[in-house]
Structure formats: C-alpha cells, structure tokens
C-alpha cells in the first residue's frame, strides 16, 4: 500500500508532470490531446478488474461488472477515436507541405 507522504509525493510529482507535458502544446492539437488524455485515464480498467476480481456478493459483482464494462469502453473508445484523429493529421501533413 502506498500511504501518507509517499502518496502525496507521487501525487505532486505526477501533477507537475501532467502540467509540463501539456504546457507547450499548439492549439491545433488540443482536441486530439484531450482525447488522448481521455484514453489514458482508461487505466481505470485495471482498477475495475481488481475490484471486480475481489467481489464476493452479487451486489458487488454486479457493480464490478458495470465498472469493468464502462472502463473497457473508456479505454477502447478513447484509443480508437484518438488514433483516427491523429492518423488523419499525419497523412494530411505530409500532403500539405
């Protein structure tokens, strides 16, 4: 378990990382980037799987099932959509210049 100040340290460092990574992004990439970061929090799938994997009652199992389903949607949908957008970007860039 990650606890106390270790948790806080990780939280702070990750927050700064996120800020720095985005800070100098050009406007044209805002939409794909929003979509991309949307995909990244699809990692919630991992947590949903763990939660469901430890579910014992029917109620827990049902909610866990919903959670995994939603998380998988987040991850897969986020990837497909971002990939489609960025693919277009690359090819048009090559043609345009």
Partner 1 sequence: MIQLSYFAAAMLFILGLKRMSSPVTARGGIVWAGAGMLVATIATFFWPGMHNYGLMIIAIAIGGGAAWYTGKKVAMTDMPQMIAIYNGMGGGAAAAIAAVELLKGDFHSQSFLVLAVIGALIGSVAFSGSMVAFAKLQGLMKKSFIFPGQQKMNLIVFAAAIVYGVLLMTSDTTGGFALFIFFALALAFGIMMTLPIGGADMPVVISLYNALTGLAVAFEGFVLGNAAMIIAGTVVGSAGTLLTQLMAKAMNRPISNVLFSGFGASGGEAAAETGGTMKEVDASDAAVMMAFASKVIVVPGYGMAVAQAQHKIWEFCKLLEDKGVTVKFAIHPVAGRMPGHMNVLLAEAGVPYDKIYDLEEINGEFPQADVALIIGANDVVNPVARTDPNSPIYGMPILDADKAKNVIVVKRGRGTGFSGIENALFFLDNTRMLYGDGQEVANKLIQEVKQL
Q: Hey, which residues between 40 and 79 contact partner 1 (CB under 8 A)?
A: 40-57, 59-61, 63-79
Task: Check if the beta carbon of residue 85 is closer than 8 Å to that of residue 32.
Answer: yes
Smallest gap from Cβ 67 to partner 1, in A, equals: 3
Using CB under 8 A as the binding criterion, the count of chain residues that bind partner 1 stands at 86
Task: Give the span between the Cα atoms of 80 and 62, in whole angstroms.
Answer: 27
Instruction: Please work out, in degrees rounded to the nearest 5, the angle formed at the alpha carbon of residue 81 by the alpha carbons of 77 and 85.
Output: 170
* 1 three-class SS: coil
Smallest gap from Cβ 39 to partner 1, in A, equals: 6
Residues 6-25 that bind partner 1 (CB under 8 A): 7, 10-11, 14-19, 21-25
Task: Give the span between the Cα atoms of 68 and 42, in whole angstroms.
Answer: 10
* Residues written for the chain: 97
Smallest gap from Cβ 71 to partner 1, in A, equals: 4
């Amino acid at each position: 378990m990650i606890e106390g100040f270790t948790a806080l340290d990780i939280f702070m460092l990750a927050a700064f990382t996120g800020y720095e990574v985005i800070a100098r992004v050009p406007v044209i990439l805002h939409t794909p980037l929003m979509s991309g970061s949307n995909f990244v929090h699809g990692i919630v799938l991992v947590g949903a799987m763990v939660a469901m994997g430890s579910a014992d009652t029917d109620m827990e199992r049902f909610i866990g099932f919903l959670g995994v389903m939603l998380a998988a949607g987040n991850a897969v949908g986020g990837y497909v959509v971002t990939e489609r957008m960025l693919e277009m970007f690359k090819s048009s860039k090559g043609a345009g210049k």
